[in-house]
A and B are shown apart, each in its own frame.
Chain A
Amino acid sequence: MAKSSSSDAQALIRSLRSAYAATPTNLKIIDLYVVYAITTAVIQIVYMGIVGSFPFNSFLSGILSCVGTAVLAVCLRIQVNKENKEFKDLSPERAFADFVLCNLVLHLVIMNFLG
């Protein structure tokens, strides 16, 4: 049972890796950015666990800025990905401009909320 599940897991990881290697480079860059943002969020949570969550608004703004940029980057990836039929008449420049605008609003609010 364990052997088959472990070989299952290996086959899973192998096929995932090969499928992922086929994605275009610009999407991989966006994925790297998302991973970076999530890692920063995890580091902040660990720090909060050690030090305590006062002042809460600063903690929230830090976490939400990481999560916010990650989510917006995923939205950008969705809109730029050529394999998505729904977005085929959306130019990548427009998608990027929306991304920049939303990030601007996000960070302005974060700066106000940081306290």
Chain B
Amino acid sequence: MGAKAAENGAKSSSSAPSPPPLKAFFRLKTKQQELLIRVASLALIYVLAFAVRLFSVLRYESMIHEFDPYFNYRTTLFLTRNGFYEFWNWFDSESWYPLGRIIGGTLYPGLMVTAALIYRLLRFLTFAVHIREVCVLTAPFFASNTTIVAYFFGKEIWDSGAGLVAAALIAICPGYISRSVAGSYDNEGVAIFALLFTFYLFVKAVNTGSLAWALASAFGYFYMVSAWGGYVFIINLIPLYVLVLLVTGRYSMRLYVAYNCMYILGMLLAMQIRFVGFQHVQSGEHMAAMGVFFLLQVFYFLDWVKYMLNDKQLFQSFLRITLTFAISVGALALGIGTASGYISPWTGRFYSLLDPTYAKDHIPIIASVSEHQPTAWSSFMFDFHILLFLFPAGLYFCFKRLSDATIFIVMYGLTSMYFAGVMVRLILVAAPAVCLISAIAISATVKNLTSLIRTKGKAPLAVSGKGSSSLKASAKASADQSLPFQHNCAIALLVGAFYLLSRYAIHCTWVTSEAYSSPSIVLAARGAHGGRVIFDDYREAYYWLRQNTPADAKVMSWWDYGYQITAMGNRTVIVDNNTWNNTHIATVGRAMSSYEPEAYEIMQSLDVDYVLVVFGGLTGYSSDDINKFLWMVRIGGGVFPVIKEPDYLVNGEYRVDKGAAPKMLNCLMYKLAYYRFGEMTTEYGKPTGYDRARGVEIGNKDIKLEYLEEAFTTSNWIIRIYKVKPPKNRW
């Protein structure tokens, strides 16, 4: 036995020496080759999506960017140190002094829980990482996962070729990169993955009609609700899609199974998040889903009765009775609910999507956020490049081959493009739809072109091989001969298509490198000799606060910097980026825009110990508090009519030089920003006190502070901290 086996073994090993890998590749069957190519490209796309987001980590260091991510980082830190129960029931007294903030009930926990789980897993595998590294790299990791989901989604809608192109496009699309770069530890990084995943699972459920897929989409929806407030888009798009299918007559039993299971289970799961609470049954933004739910019940019940009766006459009368009953009950319920105020109307942020002028007039705090402004054409071109004109082409292909899945992607694309036009931030939501639809256009076009090239090559072979026996072959040959340049045309078009795609890749890399990889907390500029100069003033100031002030000191600043002060400075702040209490913010705005004595009274009432302002006059940094000052005036004036915006303007113009309004020259913000600045020479050939950010010489150079004293100014004067003096002795 043993000898025979050894003999066989020797034979087989001598007969077939192992071929080199390339030859082994060509020995595989076509299907296996295709699978290998697909898997290899997906793996490369996965790595690419991760790698392209690492510019800022390589150029600066691995740190958290911007403002909001610092809050997320602080809460994740708390979660990993104190466990989930403490996190879920956390009341934070270090922000919004003296009100405090119920953090457990006012945040979306998905991002923090995800990062904490990844951290636990890595620790379990004995990788000793710091939670900050995990937080910095969470967004690129989920961007890579999004490309995989995009591949499967594209495969579901069109075919696997479109899926591959979609994955490649979304890996480098600047609209998505802008919010998911390494260090941008924000809800959107995880939420876009959850959004696409939920949509994919739902489309799969509608296509297969299986309860298991619908359950999976309910869980996907739960993850989305836990991750981002933009889940309202899902809970309105899916009922709209169901309605469109009903109206166009494409309804089927699969739709009923998919939507009902997803709605009921998704709604129940979503209500477990405390921040969402009972909104699914009480808020006007979620009523569309409930309305469609009841409509579906009525619709399918009528369909069932019609099937059972088999008699048109009787069914008509039954239809009449039931419809009038159902519509009247529905209208009555809706009317009572809205009129009595039980169903709350569309609020604030979401209402300003339907009526873009609403926020400017009524809610200045929403209007002041730069990401909420309407989008300019240049932003679209910057963020989408060639996808912008491939989008209508893809829509054309989708309409040519309508199915349940393509109707969904068309609706997703159109609604998200409308919202992207209303608010710059929502280009992010439109990015996956645009990538998918453009991928359909690219894939279909390239397929047509390559099939043209292939048939031209095959037809002569067929004629020569089979002689003239097949009429079809001869007809084809004659048809091909009638368009002699078809082959060359197709090749030229293919070359053009690949050129466009390569330009897209170059543009995306350039955009990522230049525009979307700055940490915002560390600034860089070119020095006189071309070397790089780094301004690390923010962290310098926060660490000064951390090390040189008493532990219970309270810091007043504009709400932009609140999260960073609590996270890095570890001190109590008065207002922060959560902006949940407009009156509190207006109080701070009023203090900043009043004369010093009144401001001192307000600061006494709030127990303020330190005031922090951001000033860009020495460096030319233009996102400082003087440029944001008018928003402080507007928000303060919105609650306290004693602050009037025209008092600070001269002929409607905002000035800080000698011709500025007297109230402007003596308000607290002006004094704190320009204290001692009148003695500084900032540029060669300009007078002292030349403000480089505004480009003028300041008006009030001799500033004296009565109730505050300067505590710290950073090395480039970007952050200035003042200590509030205690009240003077009576005698």
Contact = CB atoms under 8 A, between A and B. Distances in A.
B271 interface: yes
Contacts of B305: 16
Nearest to A109: B268
Contacts of A12: 309, 314, 317-318
Interface range on chain B: under 10, 10 to 19, 20 to 34, or 35 or more? 20 to 34
Interface stretch (B242-250, B259-267, B345-353, B383-391): B259-267
A113 B214 CA distance: 21
A79 B257 contact: yes
A45 interface: no
Interface string A45-59: 000000000001100
Most buried by B among A11, A15, A84, A95: A15
A33 interface: no
A9 B218 CA distance: 41
Nearest to B301: A74
Contact of B215 (A84, A87, A102, A110): A102
Given A75-B260, A86-B252, A87-B253, A101 B215 contact: yes
A98 B253 contact: no
A86 B254 contact: yes
A19 B268 contact: no
B265 A106 contact: yes
B232 interface: no
A78 interface: yes
B338 interface: no
B269 interface: yes
Nearest to B208: A90
A110 B268 contact: yes
Contacts of A20: 308
Contact of A84 (B253, B260, B269, B317): B253
Contact of B309 (A16, A60, A110): A16
A64 B268 contact: yes
A43 interface: no
Contacts of B265: 68, 102, 105-106, 109
A58 B201 CA distance: 30
Interface range on chain A: under 10, 10 to 19, 20 to 34, or 35 or more? 35 or more
A113 B253 contact: no
Interface string B264-285: 1101110110000010010000
B326 interface: no
Interface in B223-260: 252-254, 256-257, 260
Contacts of A8: 314, 317
A15 B313 CA distance: 12
B211 A102 contact: yes
Interface in A58-79: 60-61, 64, 67-68, 71-72, 74-76, 78-79
A9 B320 CA distance: 12
A84 B281 CA distance: 33
A86 B268 contact: no
A9 B318 CA distance: 8
A102 B261 contact: yes
Given A16-B305, A98-B210, A105-B215, A75 B269 contact: no
B256 A78 contact: yes
B309 A19 contact: yes
A59 to B, nearest CB: 10
A112 interface: yes
B314 A11 contact: yes
Nearest to A9: B317
Contacts of B310: 19
Interface string A1-44: 00001001101100110011000000000000000000000000
Contacts of B209: 79, 86-87, 90
Contact of B211 (A57, A60, A99): A99
B534 interface: no
Nearest to B296: A71
B39 interface: no
B311 interface: yes
Given A19-B308, A75-B211, A68 B264 contact: yes
A113 B268 CA distance: 8
Contacts of B256: 74-75, 78
B212 interface: yes
B264 A64 contact: yes
B692 to A, nearest CB: 57
A60 B281 contact: yes
A75 B272 contact: no
Most buried by B among A11, A75, A79, A86: A75
A40 B271 CA distance: 22
Contact of B314 (A15, A56, A74, A95): A15
A113 B211 contact: no
Given A8-B314, A84-B253, A86-B253, A109 B308 contact: no
Contacts of A113: 268, 271-272
Given A64-B264, A78-B253, A84-B253, A98 B212 contact: yes
14 contacts: A20-B308, A57-B271, A60-B271, A60-B281, A68-B268, A71-B261, A71-B264, A76-B211, A86-B254, A87-B253, A102-B214, A106-B264, A109-B268, A109-B272
Given A19-B310, A109-B269, 20 more contacts: A5-B317, A9-B317, A11-B314, A15-B311, A15-B314, A16-B305, A16-B308, A20-B308, A68-B264, A72-B261, A75-B211, A75-B257, A78-B256, A79-B211, A86-B209, A87-B253, A101-B215, A102-B261, A105-B215, A109-B272
Interface of A: 5, 8-9, 11-12, 15-16, 19-20, 56-57, 60-61, 64, 67-68, 71-72, 74-76, 78-79, 84, 86-87, 90, 95, 98-99, 101-102, 105-106, 109-110, 112-113
Q: Ordered nearest first, which 7 A-B pairs have the shortest CB separation?
A: A98-B211, A19-B308, A75-B257, A68-B264, A71-B260, A109-B268, A78-B253
